[in-house]
Amino acid sequence: MKLRALSRDDIQSAVPMARAISIVKDAFAQLSAGQARVPERAHIDVTRHEGIALFMPAYLEKTDELGMKIVSVFPRNLEAGIPTIHALVTLVDSSTGQPSAILDGTYLTALRTGAASGAATDELARPDARVAAVFGAGVQGRTQLEAVCECREIAEVRVYDIDRAAAEAFATEMSSAGGRIPDKISVAGSSREAVADADIICTTTTARSPVFDDADLKPGVHINAVGSFKPEVQEIPGETVVRSRLIVDSREACWAETGDLIIPRDQGLISENDVFAELGEIVAGVVSGRVDDDEITLFKSVGNAVQDVAVAAAVFAEASQTGLGVDIDL
């Protein structure tokens, strides 16, 4: 049996961000239409090392794609100078059950997470959005910015991170990235400075409490919140959640996993009925997105295996045509 191994570079060559956004939109549409089977992901706490491992399978029925991602999040890795997140994605031939490919899930996770925010930005941000703020100067922050810039003509970016050196490195790197990313990227000295007049905000941190104040937001801002995936972790102020048009990737997963929603719910600020829609419902045209220029739109994502499997399948299909990757005999 041969297994195709695909690296970060292979993934980048096969599926650029613009295509990843389109793929993720279709995956979310399948999810919301009941055309995907996605068991709740399994969490294993590795308390000895303050880490967590997640196992995320999915089958997309419409596109007949099957696979699973294994991802680990170990915040203490930063002390050793290695990434917090590592991941591996496995694809399985849905007609035979035979494993067909393994992919670098670390970059694929960043790509598909950015693509989800790109999809939400495309559907929900004001058409005239020009200023973006990014909280978190890691790998996820980079693909968030890339995706947002694919969907709006961003002219100015502000990045904020509690590690100022990381934010400065982000600004230096991304200002010369080219493509649709502007060269005007500055390091914000505070969260207030970051969000002042921001049209789009992306939060991608490991913070356990809100990263900005609700009072500092301008009318009409769109927020992509992707950092919180545990019930006790909250990036977004409860006041913001209350007054936003709230869109999620998956109702079931978000109410089970993210403190961004669970904490204000338990405080009596919101109920589960306050989720306006899943992103897949908006993509499919079942419901509308933004209704006026002044409303705040909030896309809350905890990540879903349909994203990983759909993007991985597209990478594998391209690799099969172009010869990307390495075949491994098992």
Q: Which residue's entry shows tokens 């050793």?
A: 80
Q: Give residue 99's pLDDT band: very low, low, confident or very high (50, 70, 90).
A: very high
Burial of 299 (0-12, 13-18, 19+ CB in 10 A): buried
| CATH 3.30.1780.10 placement within the chain | 2-108+306-329
Per-residue CA distances from 286 to 28, 32, 161, 279 (Å)? 13, 10, 37, 10
Handedness of CA 282, 287, 293, 296 (dihedral sign): negative
Q: Give residue 78's pLDDT band: very low, low, confident or very high (50, 70, 90).
A: confident
Question: For all residues of the chain together, what is the average pLDDT?
Answer: 96
pLDDT in tens, 26-64: 999 999 999 999 998 898 999 999 999 999 999 999 999
Higher pLDDT, 138 or 6: 6
Candidates 69, 218, 230, 300; catalytic one: 69
Burial of 280 (0-12, 13-18, 19+ CB in 10 A): buried
Give the span between the Cα atoms of 256 and 89, in whole angstroms: 23
Instruction: Look at residue 299 in the predicted model and tell me its pLDDT.
Output: 98
pLDDT at 321 over 90: yes
CATH superfamily assigned to domain 123-303:
NAD(P)-binding Rossmann-like Domain (3.40.50.720)
218 catalytic residue (yes or no): no
Instruction: Look at residue 1 in the predicted model and tell me its pLDDT.
Output: 82
| CATH 3.40.50.720 placement within the chain | 123-303
Q: What percent of the chain has pLDDT over 70?
A: 100
Q: Which amino acid is at 24?
A: V
pLDDT at 225 over 90: yes
The answer to whether the CB of 244 falls within 8 A of the CB of 214 is: no
pLDDT at 237 over 90: yes
Instruction: Look at residue 324 in the predicted model and tell me its pLDDT.
Output: 97
Class of domain 2-108+306-329: alpha beta
Q: Give residue 158's pLDDT band: very low, low, confident or very high (50, 70, 90).
A: very high
DSSP-based three-state secondary structure for 195: helix
Q: Give residue 153's pLDDT band: very low, low, confident or very high (50, 70, 90).
A: very high
Residues whose CB falls within 8 Å of the CB of residue 248, separated by 6 or more in sequence, listed in order? 254, 261, 275, 277, 278, 279, 299, 300, 301
Instruction: Look at residue 75 in the predicted model and tell me its pLDDT.
Output: 86
pLDDT at 81 over 90: no
Least confident of 71-85, 161-175, 180-194, 299-313: 71-85
Q: What percent of the chain has pLDDT over 90?
A: 93
E strand residue ranges, the chain: 2-6, 36-37, 42-46, 51-60, 65-73, 85-92, 99-104, 131-135, 156-160, 185-187, 200-203, 222-225, 244-248, 275-278, 296-300, 326-329
